[in-house]
């Protein structure tokens, strides 16, 4: 079983690369996030690799590559614990989580569905399934780096936007109003204060 591969990238696109390892070219599936982090220089790159057996019809083993061990472990967690998703979908989920792996881990541990929806871009039913599937497993995955999202601020913004939408405003209008109010006033709001200020902004900018 292949665990890591190190070589020179000969070809690359948004979805895959060809890695030359001592004259042998390995086609490796990658995420969009990984593609954006690859250097344009011809320098050795190490990938943490997952081998995924092909279907009974194709029989072709596919390789999935990651620049860090933690990305590989999150991918495997998605692939092995979420029902009815394949490796491609697990890669898509990893792309979303890569906005901030430390905050993604914290959201799972705290069962913060709102954060998974508003920041990481999961649908509500998917976010619920991810929390159920990973809440007992993600704590064992060591993730480097510090949390960088202001969860209190995000929750406040999300609740305010939802309230404005419930009052009949479009989501993009509500989001713009909230962002403009927060940009102009650095003080911490309560949800009620932010709703009032956003409504005032919307009334003045019809």
Q: Which residue has the tokens 């990658």?
A: 30
Whether 103 and 120 share a structural domain: yes
Whether 135 and 73 share a structural domain: yes
Last residue of a domain, one of 97, 112, 140: 140
Instruction: Identify the band that residue 8 occupies on the pLDDT scale cut at 50, 70 and 90.
Output: very high
Whether 197 is in a domain gets the answer: yes
Whether 62 and 73 share a structural domain: no
Whether 59 and 42 share a structural domain: yes
Helices (H) and strands (E) in the chain, counts: 9, 5
Whether 74 and 132 share a structural domain: yes
Last residue of a domain, one of 66, 91, 109: 66
Higher pLDDT, 42 or 206: 42
Whether 145 is in a domain gets the answer: no
Last residue of a domain, one of 66, 98, 115: 66
Instruction: Identify the band that residue 10 occupies on the pLDDT scale cut at 50, 70 and 90.
Output: very high
Whether 42 and 91 share a structural domain: no
Domain range holding 188? 151-204
Instruction: Identify the band that residue 166 occupies on the pLDDT scale cut at 50, 70 and 90.
Output: very high
Give the three-class secondary structure for 13. coil
User: Does the pLDDT of residue 118 top 90, yes or no?
Assistant: no
Whether 146 is in a domain gets the answer: no
Whether 191 is in a domain gets the answer: yes
Whether 77 and 109 share a structural domain: yes
Instruction: Identify the band that residue 59 occupies on the pLDDT scale cut at 50, 70 and 90.
Output: low
pLDDT value, residue 181: 87
Instruction: Identify the band that residue 60 occupies on the pLDDT scale cut at 50, 70 and 90.
Output: confident
Q: Token pair for residue 86? A: 């394949």
Whether 62 and 76 share a structural domain: no
What are the tens digits of pLDDT across the range 74-91?
999 999 999 888 899 999
Integer Cα distance of 194 and 19 in angstroms: 51
User: Which CATH number characterizes residue 11's domain?
Assistant: 2.40.50.140
| Contacts for 105-113: CB closer than 8 Å, 24+ residues apart | 105/138, 105/139, 105/141, 105/143, 106/147, 106/151, 108/134, 108/135, 108/138, 109/135, 109/138, 109/139, 111/135, 112/151
Question: How far is CA 107 from each of CA 26, 62, 115, 160, rounded to the nearest angstrom?
Answer: 35, 31, 7, 20
Q: Which of 63-67, 149-153, 201-205 has the lowest mean pLDDT?
A: 149-153
Whether 93 and 117 share a structural domain: yes
Give me Rg for the CA atoms of the chain.
Answer: 21
Domain tally for the chain? Answer: 3
Higher pLDDT, 12 or 55: 12
pLDDT value, residue 80: 93
pLDDT value, residue 34: 94
What are the tens digits of pLDDT across the range 122-147?
999 999 999 999 999 998 898 887 77
Q: Which residues pair with 49 in a beta bridge?
A: 65
User: Which CATH number characterizes residue 102's domain?
Assistant: 1.10.150
Integer Cα distance of 75 and 64 in angstroms: 9
pLDDT value, residue 43: 92
Whether 38 and 55 share a structural domain: yes
Instruction: Identify the band that residue 151 occupies on the pLDDT scale cut at 50, 70 and 90.
Output: low
Whether 180 is in a domain gets the answer: yes
Whether 21 and 60 share a structural domain: yes
Integer Cα distance of 36 and 54 in angstroms: 27
Whether 39 and 56 share a structural domain: yes
pLDDT value, residue 57: 63
Whether 50 is in a domain gets the answer: yes
In sequence order, what are the residues at sequence separation of 6 or more whose Cβ sits closer than 8 angstroms to the Cβ of residue 74? 94, 97, 101, 104, 141
Whether 157 is in a domain gets the answer: yes
Instruction: Identify the band that residue 115 occupies on the pLDDT scale cut at 50, 70 and 90.
Output: confident
């Amino acid at each position: 079983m292949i665990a890591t591969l190190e070589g020179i990238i000969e070809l690359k696109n948004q979805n895959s690369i060809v890695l030359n390892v001592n004259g042998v070219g390995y086609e490796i599936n990658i995420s969009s996030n990984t593609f954006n982090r690859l250097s344009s220089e011809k320098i050795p790159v190490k990938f943490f690799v997952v081998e995924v057996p092909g279907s009974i019809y194709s029989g072709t083993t596919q390789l999935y590559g990651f620049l860090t061990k933690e990305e590989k472990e999150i991918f495997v967690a998605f692939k092995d614990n979420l029902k009815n998703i394949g490796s491609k979908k697990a890669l898509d989920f990893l792309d979303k989580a890569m906005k901030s792996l430390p905050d993604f881990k914290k959201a799972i541990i705290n069962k913060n569905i709102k954060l998974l929806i508003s920041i990481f871009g999961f649908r509500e039913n998917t976010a619920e399934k991810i929390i159920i599937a990973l809440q007992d497993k993600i704590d064992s995955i060591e993730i480097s780096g510090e949390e960088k999202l202001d969860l209190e601020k995000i929750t406040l913004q999300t609740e305010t936007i939802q309230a404005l939408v419930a009052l009949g405003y479009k989501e993009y209008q509500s989001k713009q109003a909230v962002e403009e109010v927060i940009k102009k006033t650095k003080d911490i709001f309560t949800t009620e204060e932010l709703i009032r200020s956003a409504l005032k902004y919307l009334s003045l900018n019809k």
